[in-house]
A and B are shown apart, each in its own frame.
Chain A
Amino acid sequence: MASSSTFRAARVRRLILHVITALCVFFVLAPLVVVILNSFSSVSYNKFPPPGFSLKWYENIFQVPEFGNSAVYSLVLAALSTVLATVIGAMASYAFVRGRLFAKGLISGAILASLVVPKIVLGVGLFVFFAKIGGYGQLWSVVVSHAVISLPFVVTLVSAAMVGLDRSLEEASRDLGASPFTTFRQIVLPQIRVSITVGALFAFIVSFDQLESTIFLLKPGTETLPIALFNYTIKHQDPTVAALSSLMILFSVALVIVAAVLLKRGNAMEALRRTQESQK
């Protein structure tokens, strides 16, 4: 009897777990589903579910010149900040994992801080900073800002990969005559390539989706895609925004899938190597 009641308790617990999980998934996905369904709406006012199907809002995207210009700007911005964040992030990870660094905890804390600071606050801070040093409204200042925001993603992923590396491989390389830089390029990099690629993809997505911090950094007239969307919604309430958002969701999801596949393959290769080694 006691055992049947524990069974029942376990079943109830599992049921609660499933319900909570389902609710979480629902609340994350529901807004996206609403947006995507609305993007195919036949009417211009907000009605859910939409009364009919049409593709006219997708066509309308191309009638708004701000979207095209800001998309180009966003892509350039994301590409540049990704390069910056990835290069700095990979080097910083190497220093954190291998280096004898002064105040290591403080520096890595500072790099990760942008994860927890609200982006609006960060945006205001960056605005004041760049206004002071004369970088306000310049592309490079936005690139730097986005790199700062993406850096934690790169550092977390890459240093996790680096912790698992066998240090004696790097020593073997130095021993055979390689400089520290050559050792990083020839020995370390090939082993963490997957993590760096995935980190770069995340950095790209983070930059491409960034709204709150960017708002303060751009002069009126230059827009990123999220800002163009934001401005458009202020003036118009038609589902063009939903259509464009759906495309952006599709783009981000595609990047995440690529990242996941890469990571999985990386893990699979790693696991394969480990098992082969353990069989000896």
Chain B
Amino acid sequence: MSDQGQAGPPHAEPSQAGVPHAVEIRGVRKAFQGAVALDGVSIDVPDGSFFSLLGPSGCGKSTLLRVISGFESPDAGTLHIAGRDMTDTPPNRRPTAMVFQRWALFPHMNVRDNVAYGLRLRKTGKQRIRARVDELLALVGLEEHSAKRPSQLSGGQQQRVALARALAIEPRVLLLDEPLASLDLKLRLQMQLELKRIQREVGTTFVFVTHDQGEAMTMSDAIAVMKDGRVQQIGSPQEIYDEPRSAFVADFIGDTNLLELDEPVRDGRMTVGGRTFAAPDRAAAGGEGDGGCKALSLRYERVRVGEELDCANVADAAVEEVVFFGGSIRYRVRLDGNAQELVAEVPRTGVETPYPIGARIRVGWDPNAAIALAS
């Protein structure tokens, strides 16, 4: 097999300084009865990083995780873990450990025996196991519950047991499949911080699957955004937020306005819905690596609203909808003389009176606040 198809990211450079990537996935394909779940996925996960696989439900995240852990074998492509080819290695011989979506704790064992399970298989001495389990239970804050059965624990506590059990075997890579999805919001936010702390403390590479972009943004060192079995973009949270390469990524990560261009950018000018605006410098240069962009992404919070705006792109508009968000207000406005809609998110100062529906206002944005999209 050659490596990836056109959707593959240009991330295939060899690892730097001789440290192998924790995981190297090359051109992995997987179909279930003809339905393609992974369509040529290539990803490098740097050693020691908190790496997220982000995408809508059904895009192949779990399948990719199961390929890494060895529960699914790819139809094509290769997988290296810590520099060694593991494409055909059975799950019990891989240096990975998984935190399952519903945790999969052994119901007939207490917390201590659950955590010790992997160590016992390794014929570790009794004293060592005891010490190590104590250490892990302390790490996840469950010292007092070691004698309980999983069924006697809350969701958050079971989650911690699953984490401790997986970390016990000191995996090179910890795989987490939406481990927080079944927790309620408050607990989820708390566990996000907790997971991040634990990852820093143990220094293990985490590959974290989520469909929640906020979760991915707050926790990750790097994110791979997936759609329909393909990787759309890989980068740091900031890169992915600030420089999305496709409309899908722009829209999936945070809220954004899509500006479709009537015709290619010429002389630094662009037309949207019949009106001309200054184009971002990148788009003027011909887009990023492909022939001219057809659409732009403009984040809600980069759209400005007011009577006196000093930005280069300004237009008159009418307010069509007002939504309060506590700390901010969102206006949906329609530009005069064309059908283009924009949403602006404006921080609240607490003294202003919000514009009512129907109010005539001016909106504007800095040309470089808009991001040229490749597709």
Contacts and interface: CB of A to CB of B under 8 A. Distances in A.
A and B: interacting chains? yes
Interface string B78-122: 000000000000111100111011101111100000000110011
Contact of A166 (B92, B104, B151): B104
Chain B CB within 10 Å — which of A166, A174, A190, A191 has the most? A174
Nearest to A272: B151
Contacts of A174: 70-71, 90-92
A176 B100 contact: no
B102 A176 contact: no
Nearest to A276: B151
A179 B151 contact: no
Contacts of A172: 98, 100, 104-106, 165
Interface string A150-173: 000000000000000010110111
A280 B98 contact: no
A219 interface: no
A176 B154 contact: no
A150 to B, nearest CB: 27
B290 to A, nearest CB: 41
B303 interface: no
Contacts of B101: 168
B97 to A, nearest CB: 6
Nearest to A275: B151
Interface residues of B, number: 30
B57 interface: no
Contacts of A280: 154-155
A173 B71 contact: no
A253 to B, nearest CB: 31
Contacts of B210: none
Main DSSP-derived SS at the A contact region: helix
Given A166-B104, A171-B104, A177 B151 contact: no
B152 interface: yes
B106 A177 contact: no
Nearest to B91: A174
B102 A168 contact: yes
B102 A177 contact: no
B151 A175 contact: no
A190 B108 contact: yes
A178 interface: yes
A169 B106 contact: yes
Interface in A246-280: 273, 276-277, 280
Given A177-B122, A177-B169, A273 B117 contact: no
A182 interface: yes
A273 B151 contact: yes
B69 interface: yes
Contacts of A182: 121
Contacts of A169: 104, 106-107
A175 B97 CA distance: 6
Given A171-B91, A176-B121, 12 more contacts: A168-B100, A169-B106, A169-B107, A172-B100, A175-B70, A175-B92, A175-B98, A176-B118, A176-B169, A190-B108, A191-B107, A191-B108
22 contacts: A168-B102, A171-B100, A172-B104, A172-B106, A172-B165, A174-B90, A175-B70, A175-B96, A175-B97, A176-B92, A176-B117, A176-B165, A177-B92, A177-B93, A178-B92, A179-B92, A186-B117, A187-B106, A191-B108, A273-B107, A276-B152, A277-B151
Interface of A: 166, 168-169, 171-179, 182, 186-187, 190-191, 273, 276-277, 280
